[in-house]
């Protein structure tokens, strides 16, 4: 009897332990939200666009992809666990550094990884591209482990590649330890930096294709296996074309979404929602909020038009230079469109300040002023005014040459009395 009790206790302990370590993407029966429920949430959110956002998720952000402007944020710079949204980085590393048609033999170590699985067994043969579909659609931790071993040799080797790529993108509050995102204290990101990583990844057309796929038939050992995307908003919320779900006990429910409507291209991130329903609701709320409250203006066109008008009336005097005047050039912004609150589209001000005179020599790309762009009282951008080319100092002989050139070009005639020359 005692032995049976010990076995039961040990079994319960192991189940609890496994759930704590490997819980990832498992959706409990009472936490399932279907397409019809999502649609109801959408209709309710759209019907109340001005309602104050009341979000369950611990960290939230929605950004405009073109300008990277944050349209809504809640604790968006706080470090948090990211669960399977990690696989966005795993996927982009694989896409940039592997042959997609390569056939891979699954290792015992990869096949043994728990949590959400593609369903791989040791010795299975599968191509890299099918591993990536298994990674991003059904969030296979076994697929993530095999990708890491194939490309990096180990988790450690692969994490070096992940962190190097994070640094390249400019992520300063992000650190990777695993390829799948199972809980680890040293594995973290922020909602904002996860949005920036997603923006980078979506520039890869193969990545965009994978995360935008609702269902896919892949081959394992030559046999077909149909897999479905865990992203509950894909194909349901207007404009959604990806990206990735996530869940661990530590991270909570997570969802990264890409959504495009008309000329607005947005990415939303919710981290740490208590349930799948909350992550779905929060994602819908922030996206609908952004689309309802912002519109795009062609900021580059406005800046260039204003600067052209200013330049037609202003130039910089170059004292003792081989050229007497020079018109500065303005730094080019990296985007055309910029989101502004609706009703503020005409509230754009551009303040230009520039030096009036410089002494030669002056050199190309020297900053001589700034153009500050405001929406109302908020400065949103500052651009440099620089010299388009170098102007050297005029040498003494240049003055005599100028005088001679002027004298030579004047036509002369003899005065009527023949005593002196007259300029014609």
Q: Which of 84, 116, 159, 283 is catalytic?
A: 84
Residue with tokens 């680890």: 184
Question: Is residue 16's pLDDT more than 50?
Answer: no
Reported as a pLDDT band with limits 50, 70 and 90, residue 12 is very low
Reported as a pLDDT band with limits 50, 70 and 90, residue 53 is confident
Q: At what angle do helices 87-97 and 191-202 cross, to 10 degrees?
A: 30
What Cα–Cα distance (Å) separates residue 344 from each residue in 298, 336, 338? Answer: 13, 17, 12
**pLDDT tens column, 327-337:** 999 999 989 99
Which 3 state secondary structure label does DSSP give 61? Answer: strand
**Domains defined along the chain, listed by start:** 21-295 (3.40.710.10)
Catalytic (active site) residue 139: yes
Which 3 state secondary structure label does DSSP give 31? Answer: helix
Which pTM value belongs to this model?
A: 0.84
What is the average per-residue pLDDT within 150-175? 97
Q: Which of 116, 139, 268, 283 is catalytic?
A: 139
CA 171 to chain centroid: 10
pLDDT of residue 395: 76
Residue with tokens 């992940």: 162
Q: How far apart are CA 263 and CA 338, in angstroms?
A: 10
Count of CB atoms situated within 10 Å of the CB of 402: 11
What is the average per-residue pLDDT within 231-245? 95
- Cβ-contact 365, 324 below 8 angstroms: no
Catalytic (active site) residue 97: no
Catalytic (active site) residue 87: yes
H/E segment holding residue 349: strand 348-354
**pLDDT tens column, 32-50:** 566 677 777 777 666 555 5
Q: Which of 57, 58, 67, 87 is catalytic?
A: 87
């Amino acid at each position: 009897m005692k032995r049976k009790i010990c076995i039961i206790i040990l079994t319960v302990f192991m189940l609890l332990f496994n759930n704590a370590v490997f819980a990832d993407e498992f959706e409990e029966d009472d936490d399932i939200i279907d397409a019809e429920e999502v649609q109801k949430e959408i209709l309710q959110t759209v019907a109340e666009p001005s309602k104050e956002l009341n979000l369950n998720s611990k960290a939230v952000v929605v950004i405009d992809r073109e300008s990277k402007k944050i349209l809504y944020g809640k604790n968006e710079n706080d470090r948090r666990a990211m669960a399977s949204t990690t696989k966005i980085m795993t996927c982009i590393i694989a896409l940039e550094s592997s042959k997609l048609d390569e056939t891979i033999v699954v290792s015992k170590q990869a096949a043994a990884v728990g949590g959400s699985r593609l369903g791989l067994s040791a010795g299975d043969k599968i191509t890299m591209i099918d591993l990536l579909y298994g990674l991003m659609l059904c969030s296979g931790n076994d697929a993530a482990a095999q990708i890491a071993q194939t490309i990096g040799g180990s988790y450690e080797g692969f994490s070096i590649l992940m962190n190097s790529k994070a640094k390249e993108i400019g992520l300063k509050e992000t650190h990777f330890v695993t390829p799948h995102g199972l809980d680890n204290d040293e594995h973290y990101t922020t909602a904002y930096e996860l949005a920036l990583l997603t923006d980078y990844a979506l520039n890869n057309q193969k990545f965009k294709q994978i995360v935008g796929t609702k269902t896919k038939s892949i081959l394992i050992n030559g046999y077909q296996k149909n897999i479905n995307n865990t992203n509950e908003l894909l194909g349901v919320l207007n404009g959604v074309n990806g990206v990735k779900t996530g869940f661990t006990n530590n991270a909570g429910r997570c969802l990264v979404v890409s959504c495009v409507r008309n000329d607005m291209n947005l990415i939303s991130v919710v981290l740490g929602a208590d349930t799948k329903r909350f992550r779905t609701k929060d994602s819908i709320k922030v996206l609908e909020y952004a689309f309802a409250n912002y519109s795009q203006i062609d900021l580059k066109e406005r800046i260039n038009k204003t600067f052209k008008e200013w330049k037609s009336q202003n130039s910089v005097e170059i004292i003792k230079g081989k050229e007497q005047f020079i018109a500065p050039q303005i730094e080019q912004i990296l985007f055309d469109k910029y989101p502004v609150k609706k009703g503020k589209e005409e509230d754009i001000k551009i303040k230009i300040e520039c030096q009036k005179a410089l002494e030669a020599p002056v050199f190309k790309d020297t900053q001589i002023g700034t153009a500050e762009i405001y929406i109302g009282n908020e400065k949103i951008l500052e651009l440099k005014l620089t010299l388009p080319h170098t102007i050297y100092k005029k040498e003494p002989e240049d003055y005599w040459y100028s005088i001679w050139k002027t004298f030579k070009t004047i036509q002369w005639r003899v005065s009527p009395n023949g005593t002196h020359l007259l300029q014609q």
